[in-house]
Amino acid sequence: MKRILLACSSGMSTSLLVSKMEQAAKEQGIEAKIWAVAQDKAPEDMKQADVLLIGPQMRFMKKKFSVVAEELGIPLDVIDPVSYGRIDGKAVFNHALALIEKG
């Protein structure tokens, strides 16, 4: 089970992306829990995640979240703005998988 957390300003703008990522996971036969939260909830939810992806509009939070991610030993990155804009769930899901495998 891959556990992928998305964080954005309110957790709402990434909800459609979550649906598309879940669809991509299903198509690839990979069991995954994918959820989105507002940026203020991210540090707590990171304890249950294998990776954190930050919405491109929240890229300024990367440094703050990096401290928590290092403590928990999980990778994080900012979602590619093009993939985010296109709601390309497959691309974002595959990026999350690559980050998890890279560690």
pTM summary value: 0.94
3-state secondary structure of 78: strand
CATH number at residue 52: 3.40.50.2300
Residue positions annotated with a catalytic role: 8
- The pLDDT score that the predictor gives to residue 11 is 64
Domain count, the chain: 1
Q: Which amino acid is at 46?
A: M
Structural domain span for residue 91: 2-101
| H/E element, 6 | strand 2-8
Cα angle value 93/96/97 (rounded, 5°): 90
Alpha helices per DSSP H over 4-88: 15-27, 42-45, 62-72, 81-85
Q: What is the pLDDT of residue 18?
A: 95
pLDDT, tens digit, for every residue of 17-75? 999 999 999 999 999 999 999 989 999 999 999 999 999 999 999 999 999 999 999 99
Half-sphere exposure of 49 (CA within 13 A, CB side): 29
**Which residues, including other chains, have CB under 8 Å from residue 71's CB and lie 6 or more apart?**
none
